[in-house]
Amino acid sequence: MSQISKTEQILKEVIQYNIDITAISETRWLGSGMEPLQDGHVLAYSGHENRRQAGVGVLMSPAARRAMLKWTPVNERIIYTRFWSAHGKLSIVACYAATNEADEIEKDNFYETLQSVVAEIPRHDIICVEGDLNAKVGSCHNYCPEVMGQHGIGDMNENRALLVDFALNNDLVIGGTLFQHKTIHKYTWTSPDGRKCNQIDHLLFSRMWRKSLLDVRGYRGADIQSDHDLMVAKIHQKLKATQKNNTPTTHKPFNVEKLNDKETARMFQLELPNRFEALQSELEPRADVERMWEKLKNTYREVAEEKLGYKKKKKEDGFPNEPGN
């Protein structure tokens, strides 16, 4: 089965289960980009430049696509996306970690890169790190009760320490261990011969937003053309479109003086192509000029607002400031 056909099969199940945002591991797509799919869904993907191995993606419903603020393809194992939601911004990092048998250097490199990505996320965001993390955390929650709940399952492997340490350092909890379910709904992977089952796919969630995480469980009935099961998390957050209204804001000048700073200018130049690439999937081939212009204008405005901010008004009191007054 081709990777496109596999993605379409996953999309079919995603629509059936009414999922807005789906992290996909082992996509094996080359390079990175934003691929429009059927029914308005979009796949943001990040893969190896030359080899069809590893690869990650974030599949978005039309509502999620409208709520997306940015996306960053990090490498073939990590992709970062950020969304508007009703009570804050939602940052999702989709991952595909090295296996337990992989070289220690490869494992360390993965977590170093993952840490650098999470470290750049604004601290008030709702953070969700999810995907095939190839770690068996086991059932002993006393190992690290700050991170693990009482409903883990199975044995543990060496990757457990790496995952738990990462969660602890970033104030995250392991969602699959927090909720009581039948054993069959906790497993996320089944061996080809059907004899072994493990819980190696995980969702790490911000501890400060813990009450927003309502459930995490596997759905074995979903056919996603994989030996992994579909893992679904229910989060009590409503996505919001990034374009709040069409009210012109030209009367509020942006602080363009920030562009004199080389790093700010560089980040501004990097962000615009990301937004425009994502915008292309929304524009129909025969979209009218006014609609296209409105979307382009709003994209420029959103990036400028995020990276530059608005120029502060100078205080006008009519009197010069004099020492001693």
Average pLDDT per block of 10 residues along the chain, 325 residues long: 70 90 93 91 94 93 95 97 92 95 94 97 94 90 87 88 95 95 89 84 95 93 80 92 53 78 82 72 53 70 80 53 42
The token pair that represents 300 in the structure block: 């420029």
For 42, counting Cβ atoms within 10 Å of its Cβ (0-12 exposed, 13-18 middle, 19+ buried), the class is buried
Q: Please check whether residue 262 is in contact with residue 293, taking contact to mean a CB–CB distance below 8 angstroms.
A: no
Q: Among residues 235, 269, 297, which one ends one of the domains? A: 235
Query: Which CA distances in Å does 141 have to 137, 144, 303?
Result: 9, 6, 43
What CATH code is carried by the domain that includes residue 80?
3.60.10.10
pTM > 0.75: no
Same domain flag for 137 and 231: yes
Same domain flag for 138 and 270: no
The domain of 193 spans 3-235
Reduced to 3 states, what is the DSSP secondary structure of residue 316?
coil
- Residue 282, in any domain of the structure: yes
The token pair that represents 121 in the structure block: 């996320």
The rounded radius of gyration (Å) of the Cα atoms in the chain is 22
Reduced to 3 states, what is the DSSP secondary structure of residue 65?
helix
Closest CA to 25 of 226, 274, 185, 278: 226
Angle 106-111-115 from CA coordinates, rounded to 5°:
150
Closest CA to 98 of 111, 81, 115: 111
pLDDT at 321 (0 to 100): 43
**Count of domains forming the chain:** 2
Eight-class DSSP state of 239: B
Q: Please check whether residue 153 is in contact with residue 174, taking contact to mean a CB–CB distance below 8 angstroms.
A: no
The token pair that represents 269 in the structure block: 């130049």
- Residue 289, in any domain of the structure: yes
